[in-house]
Structure 1
Amino acid sequence: MPHERMQEWICYSCDDHLRRGNLPTIAVANKLELASIPLELAELNVLERQLIAKILPFAKIVALPKGQQRAVHGAVVCVPSEVEATVNCLPRPSSDAQLLQVKLKRRIKYKGHQYFYTVNMKNVLAALATLKDMHSEYKDVSIDQGATFNSLPDDLPCNEEQTQQDNGDASEQADQSQSPEKDELRPGLVLDSCMQPPDIAQEALSYGDGIFSVAPAQGNKPVGFFAIPKLEAMAFPVQFPTGQNTLDEVREKKLSPSKYFNARLFCVDTRFASDQSYLFFAQFVTETHMATNSMSIQMRKGKPITRDGRKISSKMLQDKQEVEKLITNKDATRFMQPLRGTPAYWEKTLKDLNAMVRQLGKPTFFLTFSAAEMRWPEVIEAVKAQQGEQVDFSQLDWNAKCDILRSNPVTVMRLFEKRVDALMTDLILSPAHPIGEVEDYFYRVEFQARGSPHIHLLVWIKDAPEFGDLQDDSVVIKFIDQYITCQMPDPNADPELHKIVSEVQLHSRNHSKSCKKGNVMCRFGFPKLPMDKTILTYPTPDDDDDDDNDNNDQQQSAKKQTQRQKGKTKEQSSSA
């Protein structure tokens, strides 16, 4: 182990707080301590964890192509679950070898399911017994130990195919369902809920072809994240076996949801970072909190009194109920500041970028850097090291690497961020000036269809010639040749660089679907003709004339349309 790993390290933020004699906000002493997970809870699979949770966070999690990274579509909706009724309706095994095939659904009659796993009821009962002893919210849980496979009745509901609808009907009903619950849950926010509409009349259990279908949350209304105390502990009892130190805990140093979830996800304990449901839950709670806090209220001009005749005062505006009444009566309007990732946010970012172009001129370089996590041994090894294991990177195949990367996406993204910082600090902005002296830069992080990140980077280089502004192209060509080359590296002089360029910088002869967009062989123009020197191409005069003619035609047609509209207006006025 390296010497620096054998020492204890502290972050700059905590060091600054401690030097001033203050308790760091993300310190364990600030009620962030985690209880160890009992063995009875650690052995549960995904569905077994859902069966014992008193709150079910429903989310439409989909697998992305290739690496099977996970993504969420729509909102995360928390619904209370009937733990006792669900567990009591499932039969108990008469021996340890008997297992149940269980589908977790939003409604029994729907054909689609949220999870489908083999369930060991012995583990579920042991986990509930442990939670009843440890968890503050499970003291009132009562479980029937009497049911067994032998006592399973013969007249359970018939085949699933006769009692369930297909996914299309379910989605259509969900879209057409009324949404007063969502309005009550998030006033002023439009949510794209993926939860199916409740149906109280349905049974809690369906059995057919040896498969048990349970819908522990059907018939219950969704609840707000901040409306129920200990919601996080009831939704994720495995992560919080004692039910303590959750988001809504009263702390000496207040923590915002974003700081709280950062502390949880970046913790050395990977119980949170490795749980995909918790990741999306944390993301949605954080964004909801940011959206709610970013709202501002603006009074309508010329409205000094309300509709019921009361004068609008500052005291009235400090009362939440009074503010909601003003908004409902159209006496005030709620505005939301741009949130990261929203169209309004990117519109503001685009304006900032346009301001940079006006001040600095045209960017010199446009660069794209994609993550190559499948080629980074340190990423795979870091994830496995967090799990207490060691692997030989050279012996792993594609599927094994994908499984490791999916097991802790937080660590993968943090290492990507560190690589981007190192790329900018140690290479592009270094005194070596590999692409020239950088005046300014701008980059945006995007995600490919497979879920891996990449950045698009604009760089302004000091004293760089601008294309099209010089009569002599030789200055621009000389600048390009100074920093850009299209030659293959010498395999003998630099075999590693030759290997990298050969594998990732050559356009494949087998064009992908991305190449063939627009019904062309390759929209990027490959293969290209070889050239022995750099050449600058300009639009031909014919192209310029065609563009001018098109612009003139458009202007003339616009003038004719305007004249026709004016003529119609005159006719209408004369007839009137």
Structure 2
Amino acid sequence: MIPRGNKPANEYSNPNLLLGVFPTLFPYGCGALEDSSRPVQINFREHVRYLLSYGDRRFEEHYSFIFVLFNILQRRTACFHAQLMTSRSYFQQSAQLLETLSSEDVATALLNISKASYSKVSDEKINTLMKHIKVVGGHVMGSAHSRSALRTKVHSLCFNLGLPSLFVTINPVDIHSPVALYFAGVDLDLNRVLPEVLCTSYERAQIIATHPVATAKFFNCLIKSILKCLVLGGVLGPTKAYFGTVESQGRRSLHLHLLIWLKHEYTPAQLKENIQNQDFRDNLLKYLEDVVKEDLDQFRGNTINIV
């Protein structure tokens, strides 16, 4: 156990840290991460993946374990890339400039930013600090700067390939999916799923909420299958490239925003010109109606009530 104190505990190469923080998850005091006595060394991130896949699901269902480990991974990523940046020769000039920065300067800049009156050229020292924070933050999962880095990649694809042909949002409803329940450990025969064997809506929502790892695995499996069939399988036609980002919504379920570049030689100007032609418009509508549809006519007359 780690005793209480006012001195922060070292989170690097400290196998006793998580043993002390989560004694109920490691009741026998063994199985620690980054344990140097282990014959085969395991990467920290991969060890976390292993723990979250435990059969008894105690790590997955713990109320804070995932958040603490995610925060540790964020800090390690930030420290690693900050170390790389400070080791570059060009950083010496920035370091000399940042040494003259005071806490009052930072407080003033934060106040101006909160009022949306911050000018990018108003203070060279603040600009230098923000530039380095953006570089490091672009590698940190879940940060605002990482989203900014994704926008840069999208812009690069647009410059290289032109505007995307399709924008697709895939938002699976996990609380109504038998596959998601199966990933969460519910005993279901996926070849014969009947409404009467499913839980109520409240029970399904409760299961999904308490099994975030299983829900993420379900989402990953579903999206991979959709991309394999829809994009790589050629359902939409020959594809030059695609780019997707995953977001969470209000109830923290996942959805995907996807940009798809189809393999055609039309520029936006050519499309605008050709759209004036009636035959071209008709063919375009036929294509869109063929690849984008939600058709339940085959189930017409069949009533299925799912509580």
Q: Same fold (TM over 0.5)?
A: yes
1:233: which partner in 2? Answer: 19
Q: More strand per residue: 1 or 2?
A: 1
> How big is the shift at 1:415?
1.1
Q: Which protein has the larger Cα radius of gyration, Structure 1 or Structure 2?
A: 1
Amino acid at match of 1:278: F
- Find 1:482's aligned residue among 255, 280, 287: 287
Q: Percent identity?
A: 21
- For 2:18 and 2:293, the matched residues in 1 are separated by 56
- Structure 1: how far apart are the matches of 2:294 and 2:60? 41
Match of 1:336 in 2: 136
Aligned residue in 1 for 2:9: 223
In the TM superposition, what is the alpha-carbon distance from 1:458 to its structure 2 partner?
A: 0.8
Residue 92 of structure 2 is aligned to residue 300 of structure 1: yes
Pairwise CA distance, 1:434: 2.3
Cα distance, 1:473–1:274 mapped onto 2, change above 3 Å: farther
Aligned pairs (5 A) from 1:96-175: none
Distance 1:370 1:461, change over 3 A: same
The number of equivalent residue pairs is: 252
What is the match of residue 98 of structure 2?
A: none
Judge conservation of contact 1:435–1:483 (CA < 8 Å) in 2: no
Match of 2:35 among 243, 249, 260: 249
RMSD: 3.5
Q: What is the match of residue 151 of structure 2?
A: 350
User: Which residue, out of 271, 276, 283, partners 1:472?
Assistant: 276
Structure 1 residues 223, 437: closer, same or farther in 2, change over 3 A?
A: same
2:262 aligns to what? 461
What SS does structure 1 have at the residue aligned with 2:23? coil
Structure 1 match to 2:211: 408
Equivalence for 1:398: 201
2:171 paired residue number: 370
Determine if contact 2:243/2:260 at 8 Å carries over to the other structure: yes
Counterpart-to-counterpart distance in 1, 2:76 and 2:293: 52
* Paired position in structure 2 for 1:423: 226
Deviation, 1:488, is: 7.4
Aligned to 1:268: 55
Distance 1:421 1:487, change over 3 A: closer
AA of the residue aligned to 1:470: N
Give the distance between the partners of 1:228 and 1:268, measured in 2 at CA.
26
User: What displacement does 1:267 show?
Assistant: 3.2
Residues 381 and 344 of structure 1, relative CA distance in 2, 3 Å threshold: closer
Moved more, 367-376 or 464-473: 464-473
5+ residue gaps, structure 2: 96-131, 188-192
User: Using a 3 Å threshold, how does the CA distance of structure 1 residues 479 and 257 change in structure 2: closer, same or farther?
Assistant: same
**Unaligned stretches of 5+ residues in structure 1:** 1-53, 56-79, 82-218, 304-332, 501-576
Cα 1:488/1:234, change in 2 over 3 Å: closer
* Structure 1 residue 451: Cα displacement: 0.8
TM-score by length of 2: 0.70
CA offsets 1:353-405 (integer angstroms, 9 cap, x no match): 1111122112111111102112211211332348xxxx976442221011111
Q: Distance in 2 between matches of 1:272 and 1:488?
A: 39
Q: Output the CA distance in 2 between the equivalents of 1:344 and 1:221.
A: 31
Q: What amino acid is the match of 1:416? A: F
Amino acid at match of 1:482: Y
CA contact (8 A) 1:368 1:455 kept: yes
- Deviation, structure 1 residue 245: 2.1
Residue 435 (str. 1) matches residue 236 (str. 2): yes
Higher helix proportion: 2
The Cα shift of 1:452 comes to 0.8
CA contact (8 A) 2:81 2:136 kept: yes
TM-score by length of 1: 0.39
